Structure formats: structure tokens, C-alpha cells
Amino acid sequence: MAKIKSGFTPKREKNEMRHVEVELDFTPNALASVLYRQGDTVILACVTKEARLPGWFPRNATKGWVHAEYSLLPASTDSRFRRERRGAKGRTQEIERLIARSLRAAVDLEELGPIALNVDCDVLNADGGTRCAAITAGNIALRLAVRRLIANGTCMPADLRLTEDQKKEGVAPATMTNEEKKSHEARVLPHELAAVSVGLIDGEVYLDLDYDLDSNADVDMNVIKTSDGRYVEIQGTGEESTFSGEELIKLLSVADGGIDTIFEAQKIALEGIQ
């Protein structure tokens, strides 16, 4: 098993999360944006609405779509990360697919309606756990975006949506009370979504791996979960090591505690925000 490097001392208790900070509407041009800090890992998540659904959607589709993109900015790492100008490379594509399918797992696409949303997650500074932080930041930005689409009448319940013919005829869109808007948001996004990393170092479970912890880990794991207690995805890998079923249970238990902390931070950040 890998040992903690000589002279390296963990900065936190084993089950202690890094400090989480959320700043909403960091950039004004997006439908919703979030500057998300988890320790020294910093993510900018922006949501934009597309003019139309993807071309492969059937005509007159009643459900929507959520797409995600992820990138490391050049100065986000200790040596310059070269821009992927010829398209995303393998690792980036894998992370993008993870973020997108995680976000879609928390959305009822039928309730969203025929709306296509892009969630761009850019890493401004990388200190471990970037994919997990991007999922969490993306979820906060996505909820804020959906809330605003409901407020402006773009995202409506199926029975209140205008047909194309009605739009051409100039039929006035329906309106909803504040309670109806909240109820619809709860149907579109019935649960929160968060992700956190955990790892085994010399037989001990550590929560929320920064770069130093991750580089020393015998096993590292990314855990994505919804607030109703269901897992979206678990990515666990032994780094020249293996782990037992008992250790897996411990890893998930510690991750669950960290994710609950993130859910609380999300709730506080979005409380009362329109």
C-alpha cells in the first residue's frame, strides 16, 4: 500500500470537509452562474438555454435535455494546462459525460418540457476533486436557471404549455402563482444533487480529497448522490492496491456525511433567491 509521503501531514481531520463557498450570478450573461469554491478548488458553472432541442430529438418532443461541458483553464494547474482547441480529449470527455448524466439524473426531463440547457463547468483552480465540485456547482446553477425559466413563463407544466398554433395565434401564456411556481420547480428538480471524493490512505478513510491526499491515496472514489438518499454513480479505483467490501462500506459512509454537508450549503446558498 502507498504510504503518506515523508514530511506530508494532512491539513484536516480525516472526515472533515474543505470549506465550501457559493457565489451566485458571478457572470451576468448566463441564465444562471455559480462561482463555487471547495477549499482551493474553484469552479465557474454557467447555464445557458439553447434556441432549440438537439437535432436528434423527435419533432414536437415534450421532454427537454441537459448537456454539460467541462474544461480546465490554462492556469488552473501548477503547470499550464494546454487548451484543447481541437476538441475535448479522452479524460475531459469522460468527465463531461459523468457531469451530464449526473445532472440529468436529478431532473425530470418531461416536467422540464422541450427546453435544452447547457451547463458549462470551467475549473479556475484545481486542487483535487474537480469533477465532483463541477457536479455540485452545476446542480446549483441548474436549479437557479430552472427557477428563472419558471418565473418568466418559459418552463411550464404540460397542461399549461402553449402549442405552436396557439403561439402563432398570439394566445396569451398562462400565469402561475408563487406557490404553483414552487410546486413546478419541485417537480422539475425533485431532489438536490451533490458529489464528493473519498479515499483510503494506509487503511484510513479520508473525505474530500485535495491534491495532496489524492496523490497519496491507495484507493480513491467519487460518489454522486441525490438528496433522497439514492446514488447516481460510484467511481472507485485501487491505485496499485485493492479494497475490501468492509472498506467500501466505510468509504460510502464517510462520503454520505460529506454529501449531507454539501446539501446544506446548497440549501443556504439558494434560499430565497430568484
Contact of 184 with 150, CB cutoff 8 Å? yes
What is the number of other CB atoms lying within 10 angstroms of the CB of residue 273? 13
- Cα–Cα distance between 180 and 187 in angstroms, integer? 11
pLDDT digits (tens, 9 = 90+) for 150-180: 999 999 999 999 888 888 888 888 899 999 9
> Could you tell me the fold of the domain covering 20-270?
Ribosomal Protein S5; domain 2 (3.30.230)
Q: Find how far residue 260's CA is from the centre of its chain.
A: 15
pLDDT digits (tens, 9 = 90+) for 193-248: 999 999 999 899 999 999 999 989 999 999 999 999 999 999 999 987 899 999 99
The pLDDT of residue 259 is above 60: yes
- pTM for the model stands at 0.92
In three-state secondary structure terms, 255 is helix
